[in-house]
Structure 1
Amino acid sequence: MKTEKEKMLAGESYYADDKELVAERLHAKKLLHRLNVTEYVMNGNARNILHSLMPNAHKRLYIEPPFHCDYGYNLHLGENVYFNINCVVLDEMKVEIGDNALIGPGVHIYTATHPLNAKERRLKEISKPVSIGNDCWIGGNTTICPGVKIGNGCVIGAGSVVTKDIPDNSMAVGNPAKVIKKLNQENV
């Protein structure tokens, strides 16, 4: 029989108030408190906190506090990823961000979602992974919804709500975000 954590990580319906999951979120909150309150600047202590919080992130990571995530261990971050202030990542499932990604201020990335049926929603949650490719720039106050894949070389305009996949080398804007132009194309 699967644990609630195993169900969460598999994208199955799970009980979020499970004792193990509550303890893991509390552990993350304590580390985030140290990052966001005690340190509040990127220094050696802050880097140690981030390494403890996000063991699957490259060591070349810069996060401008305040920052929030639910677990930390589900963040798989490439080299040279930058998060500006006030970012939120609900990482109930894997969030993969490639190398050289710029995440603007106030960006929210969600893997957590809920059943549409009200009775089910009272007891269970669902999670879907999010992927952001290499060399992406996510504009400020963008929301990335559960299950979305953003390809390499993309720019997402500020304030966008990304509800569907965005192909490589695309600029997408709006609510819902729509591709408005291709980027990084060689002039032949």
Structure 2
Amino acid sequence: MRIAAILTGGKSRRMGEDKALLDLGGERLVDRVIARLAPQVDRVCLVGPIDYGTGLATVADDPNFQGPLAGIFGMLAWMQEHHAEADAFLTAPVDTPHCPNDLYEKLTEMPGSAMAADAKRIHPTFAHWHVSELVKAREGVDASGSLHSLAEAVGAWPVAWPSGAPFLNLNTPEEAQSFLASEEAAG
């Protein structure tokens, strides 16, 4: 079973409101990311405290970790309890309006965990995590560490995308306004 998890548990401090509810021309950001991921997988769930009225399963953060690691390890526990037959899951952040339509396909081309990258940087929230690798790495990962350190611990390999819009994330009201203006200009 192909499962995707949208990471929604961030604090949205710079945005000043819950990013998942951000209105992008009549469509909430969470709905936009769901629409991009749903055709790629068999099941989408939300890693965070609420379902935003989507009816999707919600997955609690692992209280033993901080930041995105809490979401990844919360998802690991949920997978082990609800989908023990599945050997991996995909993650994407809720604040990325151009989540790639080929994310699952590209991140699963090779065996093992993988994460998206472009010419500028690695994007570890866009990743395909193997359950067995996460189980092995869990005890050795710093609870307040980064996704980069987790990716290194599981041996995740970077998958190249062309630079640009797929990984643009919206963190501030100004970035959201700029994004909407560029969407309108593009028609």
TM-score under structure 1 normalisation? Answer: 0.24
Structure 1 or 2: more strand by fraction: 1
The structure where helix makes up a greater share of residues is 2
- Say which one has the larger Rg: 1
Task: Work out which structure has the larger RCO, using CA pairs closer than 8 Å and 6 or more positions apart in sequence.
Answer: 2
